[in-house]
Structure 1
Amino acid sequence: MRQIISKEPWWALPPKPGQDEFELEWGWLVHYNEGEPRFEFIKERPSDSEIRNRKSCRTTPTPE
């Protein structure tokens, strides 16, 4: 039986240096348990709050 293990806000493509994360195309990275672990990217934008409070897929601060 297909079961969701986790669902996290994730960008479609990594940001370019200095690009604001809210300019990125966002979606959901869904991890399923189907025998072998399986991932799927769903193109449905999370809310700004969900993006801001995500645990993974963080941007690396640009040195000033």
Structure 2
Amino acid sequence: MRQIMHKEPWWASPPQPGQDESELEWGWLVIYSEGEPRFEFVKERPSDEEIRHRKGCRVTLDVQ
């Protein structure tokens, strides 16, 4: 039986340098448990608050 293990806001494509997150296409990264975990991107926009409080898909800067 397919069950959702995890679901979080995720962008469809990473932002370009200098691009604001508000300009991105957002959806949900859904991870299902079916023996081996399966991933799916659901094109349903999360709320702005859900996007702000997400844990993943953050752009990190490589500062040297």
Q: So what's the TM-score if we normalise by structure 1?
A: 0.91
Structure 2 vs 1, CA of residues 57 and 44 (structure 1 numbering), >3 Å: closer, same or farther? Answer: same
**Which has more strand, going by share of residues?**
1
Corresponding letter in the other structure for 2:31: H
Q: So what's the TM-score if we normalise by structure 2?
A: 0.91
Q: Distance in 1 between matches of 2:20 and 2:59?
A: 9
Residue 61 (structure 1) shift: 4.9
Structure 2 vs 1, CA of residues 62 and 50 (structure 1 numbering), >3 Å: closer, same or farther? Answer: farther
5+ long unaligned stretches in structure 2 = none
Task: List, as ranges, runs of 4+ consecutive aligned residues in structure 1 with deviation greater than 2 Å.
Answer: 59-63
5+ long unaligned stretches in structure 1 = none
Structure 2 vs 1, CA of residues 36 and 50 (structure 1 numbering), >3 Å: closer, same or farther? Answer: same
Identity across matched positions, percent: 76
